[in-house]
Structure 1
Amino acid sequence: MNKVLHLDSSLFAAQGVSTTLGAHFVAALREHHPALEVTHHDLAATPLPALDTATVFAFGTPAENRDADQQAAVARSDALIAELREADLLVIGAPMYNFAIPAQLKTWFDLIARAGETFRYTEQGPVGLLEGKRAVAFLSRGGIHRNLPEDTVAAYLTSMLPFIGITDIHLVYAEGLNLGDEARAASIAQATEETQALAAELAG
């Protein structure tokens, strides 16, 4: 493992549980691989422009016919895809907001999911083009939702990542964070223990 792409999306910055777990995980990986290259984006602190009609049309316009705004939009997407393509491991901090992933994280997925770049259509259906990568996502939420129908965060990630070719996925849950101090502390402790064990496993 040489390169990690690390995405945070918590509105609570460094105080967010998903952010803290992701930081601990990457730090643990670096203990095993001091030369590890990490590209980090705090998508909440520095939001990407949301996918809009102009950007969609820019993607579909031949390169030689794109105006300056379209060139900039495609270049932004190309840069994000290049980071993902070069990474061996994708690390995602994914808190649950109103039963969904943060809008800022959804925007990132919207900008990297491009036909011919990260997936392609075939007669048998779509095929992901980013094979051979791993993904670890840290899922924080105030209630208990794991394995329940309303857990659209897990459902989205385990649908979207394979869609672009990433099928080796590990989800780390920190749940019940708003159910009292004792429940919060126990959940974070369990997630932290799992995080350290996973880092050791992947670094081995």
Structure 2
Amino acid sequence: MTTLLQLDASARAGRSDLHTYGSHTRRLTSRFIERWQAAEPGRVLYRDIGQSPPAPVDGDWIHAAFTPPRTRAPWMQQRLAESDALIDELLAAEVIVAGVPMYNFGVPSGFKAYIDNIVRVGRTFGFDRERQGEPYWPLLAGQGRTLILLGSRGDYGYDPGERIAVMNHVESSVRTAFAYIGIDDVRSLAVEYDEFGGERLAQSLQKTEHALDQLVSQLLAERVRVLATA
């Protein structure tokens, strides 16, 4: 049974298919989970980063994180408790389904705080200044996790080779952070034309939802092949 982790980072509370001012990314993450569950029921963990963002990293967090666990004071354990919970959820999941809209060319602040809390020395990446070669290494590599990155954009033309691809700092930053901790199997889809509305947005939503359905089928088929050869 696959464990899925659903992350919603949109500041909008509802889904755009159910609410007039709802979120396209919440619509996509919900559709992904629904399609997956219909084909292969599994365990779903849920975290609403948009409505309840993690606390940003501060000096106390950094002090605590870089203090060896055996010598941490009680306040350090408390300061890292939220980070521990977020990482434990991540470790429990095989498939991470993240709805991450583009806000001013990057990720929402809550999702940046999420990344800062899960990219953590000793838990998701290793560091040894005495290590030969690269002093940093991912701790989650080779464990079979897949990140599904579902986005929405106000403008259009952000994909590689398109008119304003250079202004897209969502996919690249998320891919970099997750690859750094060892999750480098990333599949991404995004709705465009949100600020235009009308037929262009409707067509983009339809196209993205169709691609999402195909992606679910593809991932399930891949899972069957992996299990057959295990």
Q: TM-score, normalised by structure 2?
A: 0.84
Amino acid of the structure 2 residue aligned with 1:16:
S
Greater CA deviation, 124-133 or 152-161?
124-133
Shift of 1:178: 1.3
Partner SS for 2:147: strand
1:178 aligns with 2:195: yes
Q: 2:159 aligns with which of 130, 146, 166?
A: 146
Q: Take 1:73 and 1:187, find their aligned partners in 2: how far apart are those partners?
A: 42
Q: Take 2:23 and 2:103, find their aligned partners in 1: how far apart are those partners?
A: 12
- What number of residue pairs does the alignment pair up? 203
Alpha-carbon contact 2:106-2:169 (below 8 Å) kept: yes
The residue aligned with 1:30 is: 37
The residue aligned with 2:17 is: none
Q: Superposition pairs for residues 47-86 of structure 1, below 5 Å? A: 47-86=53-92
Runs of 5+ in structure 2 lacking a partner?
A: 15-21, 222-230
Larger Rg: 2
Runs of 5+ in structure 1 lacking a partner?
A: none
The residue aligned with 1:137 is: 149
Partner SS for 1:179: coil
The residue aligned with 1:19 is: 26
Q: Take 1:17 and 1:100, find their aligned partners in 2: how far apart are those partners?
A: 16
Alpha-carbon contact 1:177-1:187 (below 8 Å) kept: no
Shift of 1:124: 2.6
Alpha-carbon contact 2:54-2:82 (below 8 Å) kept: no
Q: Take 2:134 and 2:74, find their aligned partners in 1: how far apart are those partners?
A: 37
The residue aligned with 1:169 is: 186
More strand per residue: 1 or 2?
Answer: 1
Q: Take 1:17 and 1:124, find their aligned partners in 2: how far apart are those partners?
A: 40
Q: Deviations over 1:66-88 (max 9, x none)?
A: 34332112222122111111210
Q: Take 2:138 and 2:97, find their aligned partners in 1: how far apart are those partners?
A: 18
Q: Superposition pairs for residues 183-194 of structure 1, below 5 Å? A: 183-194=200-211
Q: Deviations over 1:154-174 (max 9, x none)?
A: 111121111110111100111
Partner SS for 1:149: helix
Identity %: 30
Amino acid of the structure 2 residue aligned with 1:11:
A
Q: Take 2:71 and 2:125, find their aligned partners in 1: how far apart are those partners?
A: 23
1:119 aligns with 2:125: yes
Shift of 1:119: 1.3
Q: Take 2:81 and 2:195, find their aligned partners in 1: how far apart are those partners?
A: 41
Q: 1:100 aligns with which of 81, 103, 106?
A: 106
RMSD: 1.5
Q: Take 1:79 and 1:202, find their aligned partners in 2: how far apart are those partners?
A: 27
